[in-house]
């Protein structure tokens, strides 16, 4: 972050306002946090975590599940579930048209993808929010798919893992969206009563209705490093209290300190950590876990040839170090 950005009040500063990457799509990419120019295959191999500054870049729902589940035996669930425009909501555009545009640009029917499969051989039902679809907002289709996935987990006595990334309840479905909070919370409560584990993984960002329902109701709440999560957005709070928010407010580290989450887990360790936790919760046998190494796709070489015109050599080993502290 530049010195100029540092002196701006945090409400003014936001990821969206950071200057867009000037690097063309292709082999090279730029980290939005540290501005490092990165070799895309390096970034991909590191699960979209910046090898330089450890920034966890936002990833799509399918990529998330793809890096989480075992390659064999995956099955997408409730893929046909479509959003419904019950209110015929219309502002500057029709909600129906906004939905069609989002479906076209993301290739998803709505903002949640559900799959059943295994992690390290243990059966699991997983759902992941697609933030690129309407900011991962929860309307009928998201609430319904989450609920069905949770019901599937209940029926099969198999854990549920949810990766959330959401701006909150979807405004265009008004109170129907609000009621999805009640619906998803109710099914989670049934899991709790039945003793079927639910792990909620919060990824940047989670706000509003999703935060005040399914995201914070995990038997175990996990967050990725530096993820933002809260009920009200920072701008709303700053407008209400008319003062600047403290450093690191609503970041994962804050949530951990305040007791809202159990642990912060690095993306490259997510799979092994959750597998280890679930095995204990399900009374499955302990497995010897090879940290990190197994997460690297088998075909990938352990080290890449630095491309000729590279500015900095790839520092893949950086992830072994302690993640750098945020500077804001």
Partner 1 sequence: MNPNYLDFEQPIAELEVKIEELQLVGSDNDLNINEEIATLREKSTRLTEKIFSNLTPWDIVKVARHPQRPYSLDYIPRIFTEFDELHGDRHFADDKAIVGGIARLDGRPVMVIGQEKGRAVSEKVSRNFGMPKPEGYRKALRLMEMAERFKLPVITLIDTPGAYPGIDSEERGISESIAQNLAVMSRLATPIVCVVIGEGSSGGALGIGVGDHLAMLQYATYFVISPEGCANIIWKTSEKAPEAAEAMGVTSAKLEELGIVDATIKEPLGGAHRDVELMAERIQQHLISQIDTLSAMPVDEMLTRRYERLMSYGN
Q: Interface with partner 1 by CB under 8 A: which residues?
A: 84, 86-87, 89-92, 139-140, 143-144, 147, 169, 171, 173-183, 185-190, 192-193, 208-209, 211-217, 229-232, 236-237, 240-241, 245-246, 249-250, 258-260
- Pick the closer one to partner 1 by CB: 128 or 141: 141
Q: What is the DSSP string of 149-163?
A: HHHHHHHHT--EEEE
- Pick the closer one to partner 1 by CB: 50 or 227: 227
- Which residues in 205-244 are b (16+ Cβ under 10 Å) and which e? bbbbbbbbbbbbbbbbbbbbbbbbbbebbbeebbeeeeee
Tell me the C-alpha distance between 108 and 244, whole Å. Answer: 38
- Pick the closer one to partner 1 by CB: 208 or 225: 208
> What is the closest distance, in whole angstroms, from the C-beta atom of residue 311 to partner 1 in the complex?
40
- Pick the closer one to partner 1 by CB: 237 or 289: 237
Residue 282, helix vs strand vs coil: coil
> What is the closest distance, in whole angstroms, from the C-beta atom of residue 21 to partner 1 in the complex?
26
> What is the closest distance, in whole angstroms, from the C-beta atom of residue 65 to partner 1 in the complex?
24
- Of 111, 251, 249, 260, which is closest to residue 173 (Cα–Cα)? 111
Tell me the C-alpha distance between 120 and 159, whole Å. Answer: 13
> What is the closest distance, in whole angstroms, from the C-beta atom of residue 140 to partner 1 in the complex?
3
HSE (side-chain half, CA atoms, 13 Å) at 106? 25
- Pick the closer one to partner 1 by CB: 88 or 298: 88
What strands, in cross-sheet order, belong to the sheet with 263-264?
75-77, 112-119, 122-129, 160-166, 198-206, 220-223, 263-264
> What is the closest distance, in whole angstroms, from the C-beta atom of residue 262 to partner 1 in the complex?
12
- Pick the closer one to partner 1 by CB: 31 or 206: 206
> What is the closest distance, in whole angstroms, from the C-beta atom of residue 221 to partner 1 in the complex?
9
How far, in Å, are 141, 170, 215, 283 from residue 166 at the CA level? Answer: 14, 10, 10, 32
């Amino acid at each position: 972050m530049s010195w100029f950005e540092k002196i701006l009040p945090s409400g003014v500063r936001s990821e969206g306002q950071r200057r867009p990457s000037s690097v063309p799509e292709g082999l090279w990419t730029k980290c939005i946090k540290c501005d490092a120019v990165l070799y895309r295959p390096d970034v991909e191999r590191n699960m979209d975590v910046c090898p330089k500054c450890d920034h966890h870049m936002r990833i799509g729902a399918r990529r998330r599940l793809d890096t989480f589940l075992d390659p064999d035996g995956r099955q997408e669930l409730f893929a046909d579930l479509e959003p419904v425009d019950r209110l015929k909501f219309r502002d500057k555009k029709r909600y129906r048209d906004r939905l069609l545009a989002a479906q076209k640009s993301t290739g998803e029917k709505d903002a949640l993808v559900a799959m059943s499969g295994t992690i390290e051989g243990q059966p699991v039902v997983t759902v992941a929010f697609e933030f690129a679809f309407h900011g991962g907002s929860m309307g009928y289709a998201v609430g319904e798919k989450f609920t069905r996935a949770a019901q599937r987990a209940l029926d099969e006595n198999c854990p549920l893992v949810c990766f959330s990334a959401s701006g909150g309840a979807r405004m265009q479905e008004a109170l129907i969206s609000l009621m999805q909070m009640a619906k998803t919370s109710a099914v989670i409560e049934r899991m709790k009563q039945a003793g079927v584990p639910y792990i909620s993984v919060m990824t940047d960002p989670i706000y509003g209705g999703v935060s005040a329902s399914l995201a914070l109701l995990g038997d175990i709440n996990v967050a990725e490093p530096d993820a933002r999560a809260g009920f009200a957005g920072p701008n709303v709070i700053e407008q209400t209290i008319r003062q600047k928010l403290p450093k690191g407010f609503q970041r994962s580290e804050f949530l951990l300190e305040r007791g809202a989450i159990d642990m912060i887990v690095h993306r490259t360790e997510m799979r092994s950590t959750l597998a280890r936790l679930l095995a204990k919760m399900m009374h499955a046998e302990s497995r010897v876990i090879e940290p990190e190494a197994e997460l690297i796709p088998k075909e990938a070489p352990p080290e890449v040839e630095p491309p000729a015109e590279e500015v900095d050599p790839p520092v893949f080993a950086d992830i072994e170090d302690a993640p750098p502290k945020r500077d804001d």
